[in-house]
Homo-oligomer: A and B are copies of this chain.
Amino acid sequence: MLLEAEDSHLVLVDYQHRLMPAIHEAQAVLANAVRLARIARIMEVPVCATEENPEGLGETVAELKPHVATIVRKMAFAGGEDLMPVLRPLPRATSGNARSLPRHLQKAHAAPPARNSAVLAGCETHVCLLQTALSLLELEYDVWVVTDACGSRTERNRDAAFDRLAAAGCELVTVEMVAFEWLRTARHPRFAEVLTLVK
């Protein structure tokens, strides 16, 4: 019920440079996304980002890109399937014929996920963030949505998405909640470092 750093992935959804200018309160949203990504790196939580139709919407914005380890390009609004190779890599083949199996038999399900909590933030909350979150729920992830790092073009659409995500079983959190749950105690060796990003 509390988030754990060792169980977490951070997934940053579609912070793309031709999309962000249209987002409501884009500056605050992006600042929180950067804080979140920096805290993730301090806590050794893997950080990936998705880009929707990058030829149309551009790449991940420059402020965020240095903090991202892996970028997943996609055309589907729901990023769940496209994220699987990053979030749940296939185990190395242990016998000669594993790689030669038809793809549908090389199921990701065969590899028990090392990290089962997907911490998500992104834009637009009610389109790609929402569809990605719901698709990850179906893939049996625990999904945590960091609301103060999410945005839509309109507040109404953003808030309608939050309500729906909560009803679907996502845990709605904030950047600070994530930070203090990853830390768990003031004795954590990175406590002071994370604190400078929070206050």
Confirm or deny: A102 has a beta carbon within 8 angstroms of a beta carbon on chain B. Answer: no
Chain B residue, CB-CB nearest to A134:
B1
Contact present for A78 and B1 (CB under 8 Å) = no
Contacts of A177 in B (CB 8 A): 126-127, 130, 157, 160-161, 164
- Taking a contact as CB atoms closer than 8 A, the residue among B148, B164, B185 that contacts A77 in the complex is B185
Which of A86-94, A105-113, A115-123, A168-176 binds B? A168-176
* Copies of the chain in the assembly: 4
Confirm or deny: A137 has a beta carbon within 8 angstroms of a beta carbon on chain B. Answer: yes
A100 to B138, CA, bound (A): 46
Confirm or deny: A52 has a beta carbon within 8 angstroms of a beta carbon on chain B. Answer: yes
Contacts of A56 in B (CB 8 A): 186
Q: Which residues of A contact B (CB under 8 A)?
A: 1-2, 52-53, 56, 75-78, 126-127, 130-131, 134-135, 137-138, 147-148, 156-157, 160-161, 163-164, 166-168, 171-174, 176-177, 180-181, 183-187
